[in-house]
Amino acid sequence: MNIAYKKTKVFISTALLAIALVGAGQSMAQQNKNQLPEIGTSAVSTLSLDKERIYGDAMMRQVRASMPLIQDPVLIEYINHLGNSLIRNAEGVNYQFDFFLINNKEINAFAFFGGHIGVHSGLLTMADNESELASVLAHEIAHVTQRHLARKLEAQTRTTPWTLAGMVTGVLLALVNPEAGMAALMSANAASAQASINYTRSNEKEADRVGMAILANSGFDPNGAPDFFKKMSAKYRYTSKPPAMLLTHPLPDSRITDSRNRAQAYPSRLLPVNLDFELAKARLRSRYSGEPKNNIKTFTAELRRQKYQIKEASEYALALAYFADKQYDAAEELLTELLDKHPNNLFFVDGLTDTYLEQKKYDKALTMLERLNLLMPNNQVVTLNYANSAIYAEKYALATNLLQDFLILNPGNFIAHDLLTEAYRKQDKPSQMHASQAEVYALLGLYPKAIDELHTAYNFASEKTLMKKRIKARIVQLQESENQLKRL
C-alpha cells in the first residue's frame, strides 16, 4: 500500500512527556505511601496496571506525532504477527500488545507502559534470520511482563523527589532517545545514578532469562539470542559511538556467555529460511532506503549472482524498485509471477495492488481484493488496500463501509481513519470528514485540534440529527481524555 499521507507538523518533546509522567509518579507515591500493595503484584504501590495503560496510551500518541513511524499495513501486520506468536507463550500478559516500526537505521528496540514495543527498521535489516529478530522482541516482551519500568519507579520512591524526577525522566527518555536519556541520568547525583544503572542491569538479566524461555517455547531457535548479541558485540566493539540499543541494553561479555549457556538448556532448532521475514527485509531495503535506480541495479545484481537467502525476496525487492521508478509494467510482471507461486501472500498482494492503481487497472485490483476480503475479512492489509482501491475507483460507499466495519474492531488504526477522512472528502460530506479528521488528531494526542474539528463537524451536521448527538458525545469524551492527562 503506497499512500501519500498528509504530514501534520507537530513538535512534541519526549522529555516533556517524561517529566509529566514523573510528576504523576511522585503524586501517586505521595497518595499511596501509607497503603499496602496488592499481594503478589510487583510495583502496584507506585503504578497500577490501569495507570500503566493510560501512560502507555499517552506515550504512544506522542510517539505517533514525533517519530517517523512506518505506517505500512504489510510491515505492521508482519511485526505484530511475529510479536503475538511470542506473546502466546509469555506469562503475566496484562495488555493487548502493540508492536510498531520506526524508520530509522539505528539498531534499537524499546518497550514502554501498556505493552507498546517499538523496533527500529535498522534492527530488522541487521538480523540474519527470524529467530534473531524474535529474540529481541521476546526480550522486550519480558521487560513489559516483568513491569520493569513500574518497578523502577517504585525503587526510586526511596530517593528524594528531585532525584526521582531526574532518574525517571532519564529512563523514559532513554527508551526513544538513548543519548539524551543517558545525559539525563548523568544529571542526577552520582550515587543514585549508579543505583539506577545497577537496577537496569538486574532488569536486563531478568529480561534475558524470561525472554529466552519465551523464544524457545514459541518454536524459535534459542541460539538466536546469543547469535544476535555476538554479532552486535563484534560489529561495535571498537566503535566510538555504539548503537542506540547498546546504550539502553548494555552488552558486557558476561551477558553473551550467560545467553549462550541459557540457550544450551533448550533444544537447538535448525529452522528453514522464513519467506515473510525475508520479504519484510526486502521491503525495507527497497521501499524505505536508497534511490530507485540504484536499487534496481543492486537487486538485479543480487539475482544474477544468486546472492540471496530466498530468490523470491530479491525479486520482490526488484519489483518494488521498478514500481518506485515508475516502471509499472515490469513491476506487474514480476509481482504477478510471485503471486502465482504464492497465492494470497500479502506482501505480493499489496505490491500488485499499488501497481494496478498506478496503471488505472482498478477493476483488477478490486476483483483480487474482493476475493481476499471474503477469505480474510478485516485483515488490515486486505481491508485497507481494498478501501484504498475503492477510493481510486470512485466507489466511495464501498470504501466507507469497509473502513467503518474495520474501525469497529480496530478503533486505533491510524491509516484507516486517514483513509476514511479522504473517502468522506471525496464524497463532499464535510461533517463526517471533519469528525474523521478529529480521530486522526486524537491519535496524535492533539486533543484541542481534534475538538476544533468536531465543532466544525457539528456546525456542518443537519439540525436535530443523530450525527449531532454523536459529535457532542465525542467532544465530551475527548475533553475528559485531555483532562485526565492533566490530572495525572
Q: What is the DSSP string of 418-435?
A: HHHHHHHHHTT-HHHHHH
Q: Where are the domains of the chain?
A: 14-263, 277-359
For residue 228, give the 3-state DSSP assignment: helix
**What is the number of other CB atoms lying within 10 angstroms of the CB of residue 234?**
9
Predicted local distance difference test score (pLDDT) of residue 222 = 96
- Along the 488 residues of the chain, how does pLDDT read in single tens digits? 875 434 333 333 444 444 344 444 444 444 443 333 333 344 455 577 887 888 888 888 888 988 899 999 999 999 999 999 999 999 988 888 999 999 999 888 988 888 999 999 999 999 999 999 999 999 999 999 988 777 776 666 555 554 444 444 455 555 555 554 444 444 444 444 444 444 467 788 888 899 999 999 999 999 999 999 888 887 777 666 666 666 666 666 778 888 899 999 999 999 999 999 999 999 999 999 999 999 999 999 999 999 999 999 999 999 999 999 999 999 999 999 999 999 999 999 999 999 999 999 999 999 999 999 999 999 999 999 999 999 999 999 999 999 999 999 999 999 999 999 999 999 999 999 999 999 999 999 999 999 999 999 999 998 778 899 999 999 999 999 888 777 76
pLDDT of residue 381: 98
Burial class (CB in 10 A: 0-12, 13-18, 19+), 482: middle
Q: What is the DSSP string of 242-287?
A: --HHHHHS---HHHHHHHHHHHTTS----PPPPHHHHHHHHHHHHH
pLDDT of residue 13: 42
- Residue 250 near residue 204, CB atoms below 8 Å: yes
Catalytic site includes residue 154: no
Distance CA 99, CA 319 (A): 27
Distance CA 179, CA 358 (A): 42
Q: What does the DSSP 8-state code read for residue 34?
A: T
According to the annotation, is 139 in a ligand binding site? yes
Catalytic residue among 208, 278, 354, 418: 208
Q: Grid cell 499496602 — which residue?
A: 36
- The pLDDT value given to residue 188: 47
- Residues 33-37: contacts with CB within 8 Å, 24+ apart? 33/157
What pLDDT score does 178 carry?
A: 53
Nine cell digits for residue 257 = 556467555
Q: Do you know the residue count of the chain?
A: 488
What 8-state DSSP symbol labels residue 38? P
332 among the known binding-site residues?
A: no
Give the model's pLDDT for residue 229: 87
Place of cell 526486502: 282
The residue type of 46 is: T
Query: What pLDDT does 418 receive?
Result: 97
Residue from 3, 105, 119, 74 nearest 354 by CA: 3
**249 φ, ψ (degrees, to nearest 5):** -130, 75
**What pLDDT score was predicted for residue 254?**
79
| Relative orientation angle of helices 49-66 and 466-487, to the nearest 10 degrees | 100
Contacts of 202 (CB under 8 A, 6+ apart): none
Radius of gyration of the chain (CA): 24
Whether residue 208 lies in the annotated active site:
yes
What pLDDT does residue 59 have? Answer: 83
- Per-residue model confidence (pLDDT) at position 247: 61
